[in-house]
Structure 1
Amino acid sequence: MQLSKEDILVKANASCKNTLMETLSIEIVDYGDDFLIARMPVTPKVHQPDGVLHGGATAALAESVGSFASHIFLDTENLFVRGLEITANHLKSVSEGYVYAKAVFVHKGRTTQLLDIKITDDNNNLVSICKLSTISLPKRNK
């Protein structure tokens, strides 16, 4: 029996219990053959002292969605995925609503991957552009 898209999203979000993703209320909301989208509410919990979205929370959203994309689009039965480097260019402030992170592969190699992650607000305004590189390494036999 093949799972529906809704069932897959429920299962993916359930795997985020007791993680930073749960702490920041990040949820995966959509995916396709070559992308993954997550969202995060912009509340005082993720604000910097002057009331706008903290760049560190934005980077955490980007790394979460990018790493999750690498995890689901690669053979993680035999490999584990780790982030190598993340960059973030913050372009617009947000103080409320949601921000959405869409991760798309630029390069999907056997060992290294590069993802482009665009963060937008509720009105589809570009908030940040992030790049994440990940590495896939073989799991060791126990």
Structure 2
Amino acid sequence: MTEIDGMAWADERGMGPLARKMGIALTEFSIDRAVATMPVEGNQQGVGLLHGGAYVVLGESLGSMAANLYAGPGRLAVGVDINATHTSSATSGLVTGVCTPIHLGRSITVHEIAITDERGKRCSTVRITNMIKDAPAA
């Protein structure tokens, strides 16, 4: 398999309008590891904690992008399952998601995304399963 410049691929593809609205910024991207940050500000729930759904959006954004990079040209990865366990709450600053593959198969990928606050404390663990299929004809 030819080595792909993951960041260039991600820059060309983009993470989509939801990720932009939430302030998600990709800082590292390859098949083996994808990292992004997201601000707490603007993504909180009513009592000032980072919204649980925001953790999931960060995790799914990273996991889906990583699965699509792995899928390669002419293939498409689509999410079929996602779950999250929130173990702490970020209230300010940035959170960082680190996405690593658990399984990279011919038709299924599974990624774990560990999301930590600025002190390095884990706030959420997201796991996403993507199905890889042929991309629709253009």
Specify the TM-score bucket, using the shorter chain as the normaliser. 0.7 to 0.9
2:23 to 2, 22, 25: 25
CA distance in 2, matches of 1:110, 1:95: 40
CA distance in 2, matches of 1:49, 1:37: 27
CA distance in 1, matches of 2:86, 2:121: 12
1:98 to 72, 94, 101: 94
TM-score (norm 1): 0.86
1:9 counterpart residue number: 7
Question: What is the DSSP-based 3-state SS (H/G/I as helix, E as strand, rest coil) of the residue aligned with 1:12?
Answer: helix
1:80 to 76, 83, 86: 76
- CA RMSD, Structure 1 to Structure 2 (Å): 1.9
**CA deviation map 1:37-67 (0-9, x unaligned):** 1110110x20000001000011000000110
Post-superposition shift, 1:131?
Answer: 0.6
Q: 1:114·1:131 contact (CA, 8 Å) conserved in 2?
A: yes
2:85 to 68, 85, 89: 89
Q: 2:98·2:115 contact (CA, 8 Å) conserved in 1?
A: yes
Q: Give the gaps of 5 or more residues in structure 2.
A: none
Question: What is the DSSP-based 3-state SS (H/G/I as helix, E as strand, rest coil) of the residue aligned with 1:25?
Answer: coil
CA distance in 2, matches of 1:135, 1:125: 31
CA distance in 2, matches of 1:32, 1:12: 9
2:34 counterpart residue number: 36
1:58 counterpart residue number: 55
Question: What is the DSSP-based 3-state SS (H/G/I as helix, E as strand, rest coil) of the residue aligned with 1:110?
Answer: coil
**CA deviation map 1:77-135 (0-9, x unaligned):** 21111111110000001111111111111100111111111001111111111110001
Q: Give the gaps of 5 or more residues in structure 1.
A: none
TM-score (norm 2): 0.88
